[in-house]
Amino acid sequence: MIVLGIETSCDETSVALVDDAGSVLGELVYSQTVHSRYGGVVPELASRHHIRKLYPMTRDLLESAGVSYDKIGAVAVTAGPGLPGSLLVGTTFAKGFAYPGQKPIIAVNHLEGHIFAAKLACPGFEPPFLALLVSGGHTDIVMVRRWGEYEVLGSTRDDACGEAFDKVAKILGLPYPGGPQIQKCAEGGDPQFINFPRAMLKSGDFDFSFSGLKTAVLNLVYRMGEDDVRRHLADICASFQEAVVDTLVGKLRAAVSHCSTDRVAIVGGVAANRRLRQVASQQGWKLCIPPIKYCTDNATVIALAGAFHLRRGEKTPYDFMINPAWRLSEKLET
């Protein structure tokens, strides 16, 4: 069966086709550029651009893959967590697409989609494993007991770590999204220039906090003044990035010894970070970090997760609602 995946939870519009064997027949991602001038995602604009893009992208996807409407067996769509307006665009489009052919719909949790990137990218990498899920909206350590069975061991208590990258980039005058900008700016910088705080590393749990780190950068920038900040921009970026990576890997190390597993997947947009990939690969873990295009938001992993649930005989009634705060360990209320 061919599954059409649809992802519109934030500022990426994406559609993809996967088959029963998990092969990718086609995938398209449009990263909305309109937000960069605002220094962050503007929800209303995100919804409008999803509306504009979804139909032509789906038409182009089917055409280029040579797949007709009749050959599509089901539709998998992100129903949360994410921006309410953006989720409504994707799910309403999915319903309209599925209804004429009475195709089953499966509502997929966006976070589960990120975890399924490991299934796609690392064949043979099977549960149980620990997943570090690091994105613009989430920072979670998740025990994946089986595909479809998740226990969240810890989460951020304030900012997500991708959000910290984005906010610190804004403080430093770098454009949105901040993660890739800070990574680039950090090249050649001294990661020991400032010893930024590694919050909650010794808290004894698996939670994170990044708001103090953001404030520490803000205070430093006020203290140093514009000229010094400009001169030491690479050093500040490198020191900030090092503090985030130390914190993430430190917590993962604690989770690995707590759970007696050495299998670790790092997924979500921040998993694209080169320094994080480098430090994680030095830990002696059996590690899966998907290629960048499957770390950032994409419909391919949504289609894969949907196909998995469909194989288990699950489907979602057509009148399902989105849940902008859908937790990984919960079922979607329908």
Q: With binding defined as CB under 6 A, does residue 154 bind ligand KG4?
A: no
Q: How far apart are CA 244 and CA 117, in angstroms?
A: 22
Q: With binding defined as CB under 6 A, does residue 140 bind ligand KG4?
A: no
The bridge status of strand 286-288 relative to strand 149-155 is: unpaired
CB of 241 to ligand KG4, least distance (A): 8
Of residues 127 and 268, the one with the C-beta less far from Zn ion: 268
Q: How far is CA 242 from CA 67, 84, 189, 238, 274, in A?
A: 46, 33, 11, 6, 11
Q: How far apart are CA 122 and CA 141, in angstroms?
A: 19
Q: With binding defined as CB under 6 A, does residue 90 bind ligand KG4?
A: no
Q: Which residue in the set 116, 129, 165, 240 belongs to the binding site for ligand KG4 (CB under 6 A)?
A: 165
The bridge status of strand 72-80 relative to strand 2-7 is: parallel
Q: Which residue in the set 85, 177, 189, 306 belongs to the binding site for ligand KG4 (CB under 6 A)?
A: 177
Q: Give the one entry of Zn ion, ligand KG4, none that residue 112 binds, where binding means its C-beta sits below a cut-off of 5 to 8 angstroms depending on kind.
A: none
Q: How far apart are CA 206 and CA 255, in angstroms?
A: 7
Q: With binding defined as CB under 5 A, does residue 163 bind Zn ion?
A: no
Instruction: Cis check for the bond before 84: say yes or no (omega within 30 of 0).
Output: no
| Whether 4 contacts 77, CB under 8 Å | no
Of residues 109 and 239, the one with the C-beta less far from Zn ion: 109
Of residues 98 and 144, the one with the C-beta less far from ligand KG4: 144
Q: Which residue in the set 147, 210, 297, 300 belongs to the binding site for Zn ion (CB under 5 A)?
A: 297
CB of 297 to Zn ion, least distance (A): 4
Q: Give the one entry of Zn ion, ligand KG4, none that residue 256 binds, where binding means its C-beta sits below a cut-off of 5 to 8 angstroms depending on kind.
A: none
Q: With binding defined as CB under 6 A, does residue 135 bind ligand KG4?
A: yes
Phi and psi of 310, rounded to 5°? Answer: -65, -40
Q: Which residue in the set 240, 297, 300, 305 belongs to the binding site for ligand KG4 (CB under 6 A)?
A: 297
Task: Provide the β-strand partners of residue 139.
Answer: 134
- What is the binding site for Zn ion (CB under 5 A)? 135, 297
